[in-house]
């Protein structure tokens, strides 16, 4: 395996980590707002708040690693993505700033207003929608290079069924992943009212998740037949993803082993996410940039690999310790300590 494949594999692991951790955070923010809006905050709001308080600051670490790494390993991507996606990524950055600011105002301010919860919850759905544009554009068909200038076909992007199917999948996945995790969190807290509510949320968003996944495949077949065929060539990967999804839904329906249910959801998305990535290779931006185009020199590649592997080995245990020693501490999860 060359440096190119090792590099993109490490970056894909960082991106997968962000998908899982950020989905929990984004969905929790939305459920936090929705619970207040529907006057169910007495059932789940305090539990959700206990999760958000120690975690919301660290979710973007994975994303920072990925974007720094993609430019460092593959400098040519900065020319294409940096030019074409300047506006969408600027919107994402503003949403991230608003999200963090209003969470701080809402949590640490004198009064926790519904308006702050609304902004925090709504940005939790808008951010994954805006970030999904990157994956959509990377699939090809939305960027034109003429006379050395890169242009984004904005109208085509906004009117493309494939583009909207990816956005829908991103949003429903956030809600499904988050609700499944929070169901397990409520189970750990032995909060039966919150557990019942959050488990219903998880089951409610299960079917839309699969429907959106099928919709993406249907529209991808017309948008990029080559990529679609590569996905079908490794169809067992997506079959395994479906299998773990069904196990998770079964456990949620029975209301037992909810920790295992969330692990199954993580494995479900791991199969789907890495299957998508493998089928997309060797292209980073179809058909303009592959992992072999404009790759950094070997000396820099070795230094970057060491740095990013060290970062991964530091980040994952740190996240585990945060969960194990603080977030899932019995006295904290039950609300005995603040």
Nearest by Cα to 140 from 71, 230, 271: 230
pLDDT of residue 337: 47
| Cα 158 from Cα 2, distance rounded (Å) | 37
Nearest to 127 by CA among 95, 101, 157, 154: 95
Sorted by sequence, the CB contacts under 8 Å of residue 53 that are 6+ apart come out as 107
* CA–CA gap between residue 253 and residue 183 (Å, rounded): 11
- Residue 177: per-residue pLDDT: 94
Of 305, 302, 324, which is closest to residue 313 (Cα–Cα)?
A: 305
Interatomic CA distance for residues 284 and 72, integer angstroms: 14
First to last CA, the chain: 48
What is the reported pLDDT for 298? Answer: 80
Distance of CA 247 to the CA centre of its chain: 21
Residue 289 half-sphere exposure toward CB, CA atoms < 13 A: 24
**Neighbouring residues of 84: CB distance < 8 A, sequence distance ≥ 6:** 137, 142, 143, 150, 151, 152
Q: Mind listing the pLDDT tens digit of every residue in the chain (338 residues)?
A: 677 888 889 889 988 988 898 888 888 888 888 877 777 655 566 666 665 555 656 677 787 888 888 888 888 777 777 776 777 778 888 887 777 776 666 555 545 567 777 887 888 888 888 888 888 888 888 888 877 778 888 888 889 999 999 999 999 999 999 999 988 888 877 778 878 888 999 999 999 999 999 999 999 998 889 989 999 999 999 999 999 999 999 999 988 888 899 999 999 999 999 999 999 888 888 888 888 877 877 888 888 888 888 888 887 787 777 666 656 655 555 555 44
For β-strands 149-152 and 283-285, DSSP reports them as: unpaired
The Cα 66–Cα 76 span in angstroms is 15
32 Cβ contact partners less than 8 Å away, ≥ 6 residues apart: 45, 48, 49, 52, 117, 120, 121
The pair of structure tokens assigned to 237 is: 């990967």
Contact 69, 13 (CB under 8 A): no
What pTM does this model have?
A: 0.88
Looking at residue 207, its pLDDT comes to 93
- Decide: 177 and 24 in contact? Cβ < 8 Å: yes
Neighbour tally for 95: CB within 10 Å: 21
The C-alpha atoms of residue 134 and residue 222 are separated, in whole angstroms, by 19
């Amino acid at each position: 395996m060359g440096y190119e494949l090792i590099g993109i594999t490490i970056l894909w692991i960082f991106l997968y980590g962000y998908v899982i951790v950020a989905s929990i955070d984004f969905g929790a923010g939305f459920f936090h707002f929705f619970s207040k809006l529907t006057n169910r905050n007495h059932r789940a709001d305090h539990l959700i708040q206990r999760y958000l308080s120690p975690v919301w600051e660290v979710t973007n670490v994975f994303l920072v690693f990925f974007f720094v790494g993609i430019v460092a390993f593959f400098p040519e991507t900065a020319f294409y993505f940096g030019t074409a996606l300047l506006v969408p990524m600027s919107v994402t950055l503003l949403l991230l700033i608003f999200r963090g600011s209003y969470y701080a105002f809402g949590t640490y301010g004198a009064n926790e207003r519904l308006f702050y919860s609304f902004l925090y919850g709504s940005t939790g759905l808008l951010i994954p929608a805006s970030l999904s544009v990157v994956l959509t554009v990377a699939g090809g068909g939305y960027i034109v290079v003429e006379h050395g200038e890169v242009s984004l076909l904005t109208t085509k992007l906004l009117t493309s069924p494939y583009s909207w199917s990816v956005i829908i999948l991103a949003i429903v996945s956030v809600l499904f992943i988050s609700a499944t995790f929070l169901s397990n969190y409520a189970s750990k807290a032995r909060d039966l009212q919150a557990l019942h509510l959050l488990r219903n949320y998880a089951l409610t968003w299960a079917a839309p998740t699969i429907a959106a996944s099928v919709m993406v495949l249907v529209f991808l077949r017309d948008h990029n037949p080559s990529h679609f065929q590569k996905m079908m060539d490794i169809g067992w990967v997506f079959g395994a993803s479906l299998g773990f999804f069904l196990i998770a839904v079964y456990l949620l329906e029975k209301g037992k082993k909810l920790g295992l249910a969330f692990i199954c959801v993580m494995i479900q998305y791991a199969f789907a996410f890495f299957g998508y990535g493998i089928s997309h290779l060797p292209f980073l931006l179809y058909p303009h940039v592959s992992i072999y185009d404009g790759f950094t020199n070997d000396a820099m590649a070795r230094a970057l690999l060491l740095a990013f592997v060290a970062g991964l080995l530091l980040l994952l245990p740190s996240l585990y310790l945060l969960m194990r020693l603080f977030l899932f501490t019995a006295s904290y999860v039950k609300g005995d300590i603040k």
